[in-house]
Amino acid sequence: MPQEKKIAPLARELAEIISRISDRSELEIFLQGLLTPSEIEEIQRRWKLLTALAEGHTQRAISSNLGISLGKIARGSRLMKYGDERFVQTVQRIHDEMRK
């Protein structure tokens, strides 16, 4: 897919940058400087969407609870069902670790 070819090197570079951050406090400062408040809110909303899907909540319940359109939820659902297995495993692992 052409979009993936364009995004992959950008994601790789961003991963390289983030991997050089030494601790959580530095990461928080970096993210607050790099991203706008609305971008941070959108990323957090996407995370909540993915974890709600991982927990088995219905799309309508997620829409109602998080105020996310069914279209965005459907995209997230496809990603969790048919997307890269490593992504799904990473989402599940981080979610499980945060619940402990």
Q: pLDDT digits over 33-71, tens only?
A: 999 999 999 999 999 999 999 999 999 999 999 999 999
pLDDT tens figures, 83-100: 999 999 999 999 999 998
Task: Please say whether the beta carbons of 76 and 49 come within 8 A.
Answer: yes
Q: How far is Cα 32 from Cα 70, in angstroms, rounded to an integer?
A: 29
Question: Does residue 1 have a pLDDT over 60?
Answer: no
**Residue, of 5 and 29, whose pLDDT is higher:** 29
Largest CA-CA distance found in the chain, in angstroms, rounded: 40
Rg, C-alpha atoms of the chain: 15
Residue 93 structure tokens:
């692992």
**pLDDT band per the 50, 70, 90 thresholds, residue 2:** low
